[in-house]
Amino acid sequence: MTRPPLPPRRLFARLAPRTFRGRLTAAILLTTIVTLAGAVAVQNMIVAGVAERQRAALVLCGVDDGDGAVSATCVDGSSGAVPPAPDGEAPDVQFYDAADMTVNQVTDSFVATLRWSSALMLVAFGLLAALLAWIVGGRLSARVSGMCAQVDAMDPADPHAGISVRTGTMDDGDEIDRLAHALNRMLDRARTASEAERRFVSNASHELRTPIAAVETSLDAPLSQGRFPEDVEPAVRRALAANRRGARLVDALLTLSRIQSGTIGATAVTGSGTPSCRPDDIIRHALTDMADAIDERGIRVDDARLLPRTAAVDPTLADLALGNLVRNAVLYNTDHGRLDLAAADDGDAVLVTIANDTDQTAPDDPSELTQPFHRGARSRLSAVPGTGLGLSITLAACQAMHAELDLEQPRPGRFAATVRLPKTD
C-alpha cells in the first residue's frame, strides 16, 4: 500500500531546517539567490535591449554606378538614398572600413551602456538585498524580541509566570525554544528556592515564639514579685529587654514572610469589588500609636497637607507600609525635630510623602536601607529600638500592592519617603 503524497505545507515543514542557525543560513542563502537572480534577469534585459537598438542602427551602404547616388540600407530593412553632388562641387567623401566601423560603433555603445547599467544595478540590488535581509532578520528575531517583552512584563509575585514556547518539550523546536524552556526551568528553580526560604523563615519564626514567650514568663513574673536579689535585677531587666527585642524580630520576620508569600493582603472591598483604603486615616492612626514617643521627644508634626484621598490598595498592606514609615520617621527623628506628612493626587495615583529630620547620613543609594537588617549609620547595639526590617516590610508591602516606594535624602539632616499608590477610578 503506497502512502498518499504529503500536502505542500507539511512537505515544506518537513524539509525546513530545524535549528535557528539552519533557518538563518537558509534565509540568507535564499535572499542572496533571489537578489542575484534578479540582477542577472535585469542585466539580460538591458543587454537584449542594447543589442536590438544597435541592430536597428547598423547601416550597410552601397554606390549606384549609373548616376552616382549613394544608397543606405539598414539591417532592419529600412533604406534611404542620397543624390549625387551638383556639378562643380568637390564632394566631401570619407572612406571607412565597413567592418571596423560597425564593430567599433557596437562595442563602444555596448560597453558604455553596460558600465552605467552595472553601476545602477549594483546600487539598486544592494539596497534591495539589504532590505530583504532586514525583513528576514526582523522576522527571525521577532521571537527573541517577544521573549524579551514577556520577561519585562513578568510579575515577580505571579507563581505561574513564565515564557510561552511553541513546543511542548525541550527536545522539540529550535535553539530559541530550548532557550525559553531553559529560562522557564531556571524560574521554577528560583521560585522553589525562594518558597523554601520563606517556609523556613515562617516555620522558624513560629518555633521561636514558644521559647521566647516562655523566657518572658519565667523572668517577668519573678521580677514583678521581687524574687530576684537587687544586684541581679539589672541583669534580669536587660535579659527581658533583649528577649522582647527578639520577639519583635520574630514577629517582623513572620510578617515579611507572609507578605512575600501572599498570605497577607486579603481584602476589604468597595462596592465595585476593588480593595481600597484612606492613606490619611492610616497615617493618623499610626501617629496615635506613636503619640507617647512624639510627645516625649517634642517632635512637631505638620499634617496640613495630609488630604483625604482613596487608594485602590489592600488596607492591610497599606497599613504595614505606611505604618512602618511613620514609626521610622518618629524613631529616627531628632529631639524637637519636624515630621511633615502629605497626601495628594498625582495623575492616576495618590502620592504620600513622609519626611522627617534626622541626625543620620543616608547611604549613597538610599534604597540600600530596604535591605533586611540595614540600620543605616546605627548598629545593632544602638539604643534606638528596631529590628532592621521596617523598610524591608514596607518595600515588600509596596511590591505586593503594586505601589512605588522612593527613599531620598534631599539635604543633610533630612530624610523623605514617598509612596505612589494606585488611585480608585
Residue 347 has pLDDT above 50, yes or no: yes
- CATH architecture, domain defined by 273-422: 2-Layer Sandwich (3.30)
Most confident of 38-47, 91-100, 263-272, 330-339: 330-339
Mapping DSSP onto H, E and C, the string for the chain reads CCCCCCCHHHHHHHHCCCCHHHHHHHHHHHHHHHHHHHHHHHHHHHHHHHHHHHHHHCEEEEECCCCCCEEEEECCCCEEEECCCCCCCCCCCCCCCHHHHHHHHHHHHHHHHHHHHHHHHHHHHHHHHHHHHHHHHHHHHHHHHHHHHHHHCCCCCCCCCCCCCCCCCCCCCCHHHHHHHHHHHHHHHHHHHHHHHHHHHHHHHHHHHHHHHHHHHHHHHHHHCCCCCCCCHHHHHHHHHHHHHHHHHHHHHHHHHHHHHCCCCCCCECCCCCECECHHHHHHHHHHHCHHHHHHHCCEEEEEEECCCCECCCHHHHHHHHHHHHHHHHHCCCCCCEEEEEEEEECCEEEEEEEEECCCCCCCCHHHHHCCCCCCCCCCCCCCCCCCCHHHHHHHHHHHCCCEEEEECCCCCEEEEEEEEEECC
Confidence bin at 5 (pLDDT 50/70/90):
low
Q: pLDDT tens for residues 104-114?
A: 565 666 666 76
Residue 408 has pLDDT above 80, yes or no: yes
Please give the residue that has the higher pLDDT: either 193 or 64: 193
Which pLDDT score, from 0 to 100, does residue 384 have?
Answer: 55
Residue 69 has pLDDT above 60, yes or no: no
**Is pTM beyond 0.85 here?**
no
